[in-house]
Amino acid sequence: MSLILRAAEPADVPVIRDLIEGLADYEKLRHECIATDALLEAALFGARPYAEVVIAEWNGASAGFALFFHNFSTFLARPGIYLEDLFVRPAYRGHGIGKALLQYLAQQAVARDCGRLEWSVLDWNVDAIGFYEKLGARPQDEWTVYRVTGDTLTQLANGAR
């Protein structure tokens, strides 16, 4: 079995939309999902791209994705990466794809001299919460935001977790 992670290209927009719709179904939020190919193309590949996408392919099929963008920490005076969405299709879970996507993002954060990688998770998603904590992420008490920094970020980037 082979896993390939690659940066999305404009031709991937329909796949990205399909993955987003899969995530919306999983989160029971399909009624809020209004993403269209045109909106995604403009936001991801237009004159000013607002986010980036990495696609996970398992044996040539789109198995999952991560959509992320830069944020900024005023206290660290450094950029960060904010993971907006991570989704692995149910049929492809259990193959390490989610961990590979997070490792890819950690590598990007380290390469881009970011101070942290963070994201939010729905409180009811106990499987995701357990997965993130196993990788070294910790919840922020005042927010439901997870963050990987310092040695833990480097360890994740290097596959040590």
132 is a catalytic site residue: yes
**Of how many residues is the chain composed?**
161
* Active-site residue, selected from the candidate residues 82, 92, 104, 132: 132
Tell me the one-letter amino acid at 140.
Q
Distance CA(81)–CA(70), nearest Å, equals 5
Neighbours of 41 (CB within 10 A): 17
C-beta of residue 20 within 8 angstroms of C-beta of residue 36: no
Distance CA(66)–CA(79), nearest Å, equals 18
Catalytic residues: 132
